[in-house]
Amino acid sequence: MFEPAALALIPLLPALAGAVTLIFGPKFLKQQSHLPLIGACIASFLISLVAIQSMGSESGAREVSHHAGIWFSTFGSNPVNVGWDFRLDPISGMMVPMVLFLATVIAVFSTGYMKEDPGYPRYFGVFSLFVAAMTLLVLADNIVLLYAGWEGVGVCSFLLIGFWFQKPSALKAARKAFMVTRIGDVGLLLGIFLLWSGCGFTLQIPTLIEKARQLPDEYLYLAGFLLFVGAMGKSAQFPLHIWLPDAMEGPTPVSALIHAATMVTAGVYLIARFLPVLTLSPDLLLVIAIIGGITAILAALIALTQNDLKRILAYSTMSQLGYMFMALGAGRSDISSHSLVTFAMVAAMFHLFTHAFFKALLFLSAGSVMHAMGHVIDLRRIGGLRHVMPLTHIAFLSGALALSGIIPFSGYWSKDEILVALDAASHGPNRDLVYKILTWLGLITAGLTAFYTFRAYFLAFWGEVKIPVEAFAHGHDGHGHEKTENDLSVNHKVNHDPYGHSSDPSKAHESPLIMTLPLMVLVPAALGIGALFGPTHKMMDFLGSASGFHQDHGDHAASKWVALASQVFGLCGIAIAFVLYVAKPSLATSIKKSAGVGYNLSINRFYLDEILTLLFVRPLQILGWLIQALDRELWDRLVDAVARIPAWLGDKFRPVQNGLVQFYALAMALGLTIFLVFLAFGDRLFR
């Protein structure tokens, strides 16, 4: 039988592993620093599996919880009670094993990818802390504890983005990631305050959800919106999305785990968890759905033209997260026939689940490409790799198929559910038009997704073989990361060939086994996991048993047309990509030229970075500079000026001391006279 106290071990083991690695890694563990992490991940994974088995299958409370003591608490009129409270219910029960499984696989991949990097122990130490924080976030039963995990993953993400700290671009990316998510975090914090004070000063998540139902509408809307602001920051939703593409400065396995599979989905997890109460505010749902829709289409449009393989994947992640929020936004309960809450939540979480696998696979394949190509990831400089790296090619292709939502691969099942949910929501009484538009937006995005994914795939793996010079020079020195696009000039000198074609492809090689093995593990997961859980209703049965939800096997078949439509869009996307980048590459160039403005907007990310910097960052920086300068040069001087008043007065009265005895005597006599007059006639004068 499962002992609930073991729940605490799930985050604790990786945390300990992280501490051990960081403290003893540089001196003792060195190149073995991955051992504590992998050991802890496997152990926690097994614990979580056992815990899920013991959740009990009877309807009602399907959960295990454990209160491992108080973190901090105060009493009085507005008590705060934060305990080390863990709870495993179906929603977290889906997340925890997924996180730990992917962490294990990616950690194994990292041992090859990060080999001989001088920061090897640091990498695995922070990686372990990330796993600890992520599991804490998911398992937390107390919303402040959730916030702790939330901030924890943010900091680990910050540290890993800035892992190669000598790279100026990494510095900027790390700061951007931290600051932008911090804005969201403060939103979440305020949301927590609002719920806490509105729900009788409790912080336990189930109690909050229960009590929040009684909140007035505006209050609920505001609380939900603030939670969503937190989710926007963490899950890179418009307009707080700008940090995610830059976060690709970190090592690629980190991008796979943190910026694709786990951390960025924390926002989806949070909103899904609170969906039973947020659904009471239809306006809020609409906001969530619209923001999700904007992000989905925007990211897809930007991804169309990017040349950096990792950035394409990053935008695709954003886009898919937008899908998940669209799904959550479709969780309407104001439709007369039946509530969509459970269906929407399951759709979002299911997509989160499948997405985690195939996106991790895609990123790891990209990592494998980078590793082999000397950390060059520019699509203009690589090509035809399917001959050089057959295993990586298969992995990438499976990931791309799953991402494009081609039947019967994973992405299809989950994306289809989202589109069905959106379509069902559009049959509601009000706001049906918006949901209809969002459905079409989703379909278009599906087509775009297929197009840009396969564009990247064809560019990298088809066509003539192009291998950059770095691929031969890097020799696993661990400094390849410093080679960015700026190094094109180096290429010129060496090769007199702008794209560094190699004449001898045989020298380039497939990544070592330690890296391809994780890929091969993920391939079946990415391809088949959707079919395993989706059509069999296993996901619905499992997630639907979470408290606040109900198992919803309602027939949404009325909207089966969307499945068909999404297939059409997807296949068209792939076909166009094939035509443009394999069959007739010249066509692509001419389209690029004729697109003009659109192309520029897309490749410059709609100038959103620049706009946001201009609107918020610069003014605040200038204000800050102004305030400290004024503080020193103006206000302080003004106060000093006040201090000069007595000196000035003294100066004015100094001539009175003229040294003339009779002047003094006269002054004395006059003073005396005035005094006497007051004394004698004062009460008559001032009556």
Please report whether residue 28 would count as binding other proteins according to CB under 8 A: no
Task: Write b or e for each residue in 493-528: b if 16 or more Cβ atoms lie within 10 A of its Cβ, otherwise e.
Answer: eeeeeeebbbeebeebebbbeebbbbbebbbebbbb
Q: Of 57-65, 196-204, 486-494, 507-515, which segment contacts other proteins by CB under 8 A?
A: 196-204
Q: How far is the CB of 664 from other proteins (least distance, A)?
A: 9
Please report whether residue 632 would count as binding other proteins according to CB under 8 A: yes
Name residues contacting other proteins, limited to 67-106 (CB under 8 A). 70-80
Q: Specify whether the CB–CB gap between 71 and 16 falls below 8 A.
A: no
Q: Specify whether the CB–CB gap between 397 and 407 falls below 8 A.
A: no
Please report whether residue 174 would count as binding other proteins according to CB under 8 A: yes
Please report whether residue 162 would count as binding other proteins according to CB under 8 A: yes
Nearer to other proteins, 2 or 71 (CB): 71
Which of 624, 674, 677, 681: binder of other proteins (CB under 8 A)? 624
Q: Specify whether the CB–CB gap between 78 and 55 falls below 8 A.
A: no
Residue with tokens 């494009």: 404
Residue with tokens 């990123």: 363
Residue 615, classed as helix, strand or coil, is helix
Beta bridge partners of 466: 383
Please report whether residue 155 would count as binding other proteins according to CB under 8 A: yes
Q: Of 86-94, 185-193, 280-288, 378-386, which segment contacts other proteins by CB under 8 A?
A: 185-193
Please report whether residue 30 would count as binding other proteins according to CB under 8 A: no
Nearer to other proteins, 162 or 253 (CB): 162
Name residues contacting other proteins, limited to 383-442 (CB under 8 A). none
Please report whether residue 674 would count as binding other proteins according to CB under 8 A: no
E strand segments, 51-195: 64-74, 80-88
Residue with tokens 């198992």: 551
Nearer to other proteins, 102 or 177 (CB): 177
Q: How far is the CB of 675 from other proteins (least distance, A)?
A: 14
Burial of residue 348, with CB atoms counted within 10 A of its CB: 0-12 exposed, 13-18 middle, 19 or more buried: buried
Which of 45, 109, 123, 178: binder of other proteins (CB under 8 A)? 178
Q: Dihedral through CA 231, CA 232, CA 237, CA 242, nearest 10?
A: -120
Please report whether residue 536 would count as binding other proteins according to CB under 8 A: no
Nearer to other proteins, 163 or 323 (CB): 163
Q: Of 144-152, 253-261, 456-464, 556-564, which segment contacts other proteins by CB under 8 A?
A: 144-152
Please enumerate in sequence order all residues whose Cβ is within 8 A of that of 530, keeping only pairs 6 or more positions apart, or say none: 350, 354, 402, 408, 409, 410, 411, 412, 413, 414
What CA–CA distance (Å, rounded) separates 35 from 13?
13
Please report whether residue 197 would count as binding other proteins according to CB under 8 A: yes
Please report whether residue 42 would count as binding other proteins according to CB under 8 A: no
Q: How far is the CB of 14 from other proteins (least distance, A)?
A: 14
Residue 327, classed as helix, strand or coil, is helix
Q: How far is the CB of 102 from other proteins (least distance, A)?
A: 23
Residue type, 402: A
Give, as one character, the DSSP assignment of residue 551: -
Nearer to other proteins, 84 or 454 (CB): 84
Query: Which spans of this chain sit near other proteins (rule: CB under 8 A)?
Result: 26, 70-80, 144, 147-149, 151-152, 155, 159, 162, 165-168, 170-171, 174-175, 178-179, 182-183, 185-186, 189-190, 193, 196-197, 201, 620-621, 623-629, 631-632, 635-636, 639, 643, 654-655, 657-662, 665-666, 669
